[in-house]
């Protein structure tokens, strides 16, 4: 990650540029963010190539193909330039992780368990690419990111659709020598078997520190030599885990017809114990430290508390504003681009919080300062939760007691027609102290401190005298004032979205599949609390440090 240069634009496509992430043969990649603070990798074609029709067409193809593959093993497209716009750009989710090439170059080969897991995960990635009727054509260590949850396959710059007529043309060589298949090397048809060959070559590199057609400690091999070896020589599999050798040998067959398909490869990997889903358990221990190092710069570069313009404060169109009023029916939102879809492994869900007083209740007894604690729900069914409201001060406790007495007394003296004749004077007439403090409605705290893990289900909310945090039925997490006017929104949508304040300090909105679509980017802070402050602001704090703020003081 490098600082922006004076010649760099301040924004592209309305997305602010924060830093440079790197540059490729045809484009520059920047770190950016959405208005809600979601981090993006924004790729744009280099200025000196923007007038080249060949590069422009290739970049347009990358946009189409990247958006075509939806998979936990690929980065999700968030937005892209409209047709005909220059410069062209593509915004995808940002994955702060080293590539396999970077990791092996610095630390050497992966442990056997990690190689087996990597094999299963990348095979899953390749299957998703082929199921989208694409071939990647450039599977190599530099295009594999070693993320926390699972590896990612990136860069569809030279991918081709199966229905693209140029898919069957011969004569051009695209790919990375040392990892491209013999059929690619001689300018043949780069079909799915070539991707399988390249995947096997990547796994040899992960297991040994060098490709199947390079020697240990051999550097700067001429491209022509690598192409010749791929076409004419047997692969070097020395150092590959014995269980993987026959599998990879079949994938590295010279004839495309002799290689397994990605689906067949997945079955063979299962037979030798390679499976998806266990990458966090078997990845190299030192990788966690390096991932933190990749993530840390974003904490100083990215202010996750952007000031949203008025028309973006809710993420809703003006005619959808009535949805913010409790009791109204939500309308579906229209989105032009896919939502953030990073794979997320759900933890065991806890019960969701109950509702605070409804919007019709005026703020009475507003001297409370309360902490809401999560109570685990019954495992056999998800039920309406019960939450403990713990008063922080003795005065608050007294106020709650007074409210309860007053409310009870008011109910008994309301002329409801009760036939209970066992009441006495002490039940029908409250004490003088209760009479003096009797509010007309239940007390609403002026501040609330939410401790993790805290869930907001569909339509559920938590409120103070000035502010309400609500997970709307349209999927948007919104902060409103006491008149239910929107002050801030995560700008998310989707049926079944829920919000969770996690025990790592991160506030996350998940879609119905359990995958995050928005986050406060405050992970790594166990013990942090989510506070609805007396001034109307909503913040996440670790001790006295403010990690995130919605800037909703009112």
Binding site, annotated residues for ATP: 43
Cβ neighbours around 228 below 10 Å, total: 14
Q: Which residues pair with 44 in a beta bridge?
A: 28, 89
Return the HEC string of 205-233. HHHHCCCCCCCCCCCCCCHHHHHHHHHHC
Cβ neighbours around 553 below 10 Å, total: 13
- Please give the Cα distance from 156 to 134 (Å, whole number): 10
Across 67-205, the runs of DSSP E, i.e. the strands, are 77-80, 89-93, 134-135, 144-146, 151-153, 160-161
Contacts of 224 (CB under 8 A, 6+ apart): none
Alpha-carbon distances of 229 from 74, 236, 354, rounded to whole Å: 30, 10, 66
CB distance 389 to 365 below 8 Å: no
Catalytic option among 79, 138, 155, 474: 138
Q: Residue 60: CA atoms inside 13 Å, Cβ hemisphere, count?
A: 13
- Please give the Cα distance from 126 to 4 (Å, whole number): 34
What's the start-to-end Cα distance of the chain, in Å?
37
- Please give the Cα distance from 185 to 473 (Å, whole number): 54
454-456 and 388-391 strand pairing: unpaired
Q: Which helix (H) or strand (E) holds 16?
A: strand 15-23
Return the HEC string of 312-373. HCCCCCHHHHHHHCCCCCCCCCCCCCCCCCCCCCCCCCCCCCCCCCCCCCCCECCCCEEEEE
DSSP designation for 296? H
Residue 138 among the catalytic residues: yes
Contacts of 219 (CB under 8 A, 6+ apart): none
Contacts of 92 (CB under 8 A, 6+ apart): 40, 41, 43, 66, 75, 76, 77, 78
Our measurement of the distance from residue 477's CA atom to the centroid of its chain's CA atoms, rounded to an integer in Å, reads 15
CB distance 213 to 233 below 8 Å: yes
Contacts of 350 (CB under 8 A, 6+ apart): 374, 375, 376, 377, 453, 455
447-451 and 369-373 strand pairing: parallel
- Please give the Cα distance from 261 to 179 (Å, whole number): 17
As annotated, the binding site includes 43
Across 35-190, the runs of DSSP E, i.e. the strands, are 39-45, 77-80, 89-93, 134-135, 144-146, 151-153, 160-161
Catalytic residues: 138
């Amino acid at each position: 990650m490098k600082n922006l240069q004076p010649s760099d634009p301040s924004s592209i496509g309305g997305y602010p540029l924060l830093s440079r992430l790197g540059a490729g043969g045809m484009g520059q990649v920047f770190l950016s963010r959405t208005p809600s603070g979601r981090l993006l990798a924004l790729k744009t074609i280099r200025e000196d190539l923007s007038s080249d029709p060949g590069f422009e067409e290739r970049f347009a193809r990358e946009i189409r193909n990247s958006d075509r593959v939806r998979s936990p093993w690929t980065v999700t497209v968030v937005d892209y330039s409209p047709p005909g716009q220059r410069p062209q750009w593509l915004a995808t989710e940002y994955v702060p992780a080293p590539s396999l090439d970077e990791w092996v170059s610095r630390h050497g080969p992966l442990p056997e368990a990690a190689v087996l897991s990597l094999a299963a995960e990348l095979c899953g990635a390749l299957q998703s690419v082929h199921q989208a009727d694409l071939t990647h054509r450039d599977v190599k260590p530099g295009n594999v990111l070693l993320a926390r949850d699972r590896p990612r396959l990136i860069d569809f710059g030279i991918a081709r659709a199966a229905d693209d007529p140029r898919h069957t043309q011969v004569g051009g060589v695209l790919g990375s020598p040392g990892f491209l298949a013999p059929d690619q090397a001689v300018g043949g048809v780069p079909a799915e078997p070539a991707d399988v060959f390249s995947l096997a070559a990547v796994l040899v590199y992960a297991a040994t520190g060098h490709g199947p057609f390079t020697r240990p400690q051999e550097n700067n091999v001429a491209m022509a030599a690598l192409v010749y070896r791929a076409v004419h020589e047997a692969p070097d599999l020395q150092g590959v885990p014995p269980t993987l050798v026959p599998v990879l040998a079949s994938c590295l067959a010279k004839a495309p017809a002799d290689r397994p398909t990605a689906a067949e490869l997945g079955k063979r990997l299962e037979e030798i114990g390679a499976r998806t889903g266990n990458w966090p358990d078997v990845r190299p221990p030192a990788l966690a430290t390096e991932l933190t190092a990749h993530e840390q710069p974003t904490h100083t570069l990215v202010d996750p508390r952007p000031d949203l313009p008025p028309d973006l404060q809710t993420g809703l169109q003006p005619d959808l504003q009535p949805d913010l009023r409790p009791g109204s029916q939500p309308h579906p939102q229209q989105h032009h681009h896919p939502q953030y879809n990073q794979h997320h492994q759900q933890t065991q869900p806890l019960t969701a919080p109950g509702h605070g007083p409804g919007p019709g209740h005026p703020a009475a007894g507003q001297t409370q300062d309360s902490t809401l604690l999560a109570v685990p729900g019954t495992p056999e069914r998800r039920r309406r939760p019960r939450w403990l409201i713990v008063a922080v001060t003795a005065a608050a406790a007294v106020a709650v007691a007074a409210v309860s007495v007053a409310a009870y007394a008011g109910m008994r003296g309301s002329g409801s027609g009760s036939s209970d004749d066992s009441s006495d004077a002490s039940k029908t007439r409250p004490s003088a102290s209760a009479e003096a403090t009797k509010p007309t409605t239940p007390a609403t705290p002026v501040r609330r401190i939410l401790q993790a893990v805290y869930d907001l289900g569909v339509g559920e909310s938590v409120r103070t005298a000035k502010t309400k945090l609500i997970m709307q039925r349209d999927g948007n997490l919104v902060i409103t004032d006491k008149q239910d006017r929107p002050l801030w929104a995560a700008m998310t949508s989707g049926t079944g979205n829920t919000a969770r304040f996690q025990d790592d300090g991160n506030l996350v909105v998940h879609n119905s599949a359990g995958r995050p679509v928005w986050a406060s980017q405050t992970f790594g802070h166990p013990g942090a609390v989510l506070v609805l402050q007396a001034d109307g602001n909503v913040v996440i704090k670790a001790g006295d440090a403010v990690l995130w703020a919605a800037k909703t003081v009112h």
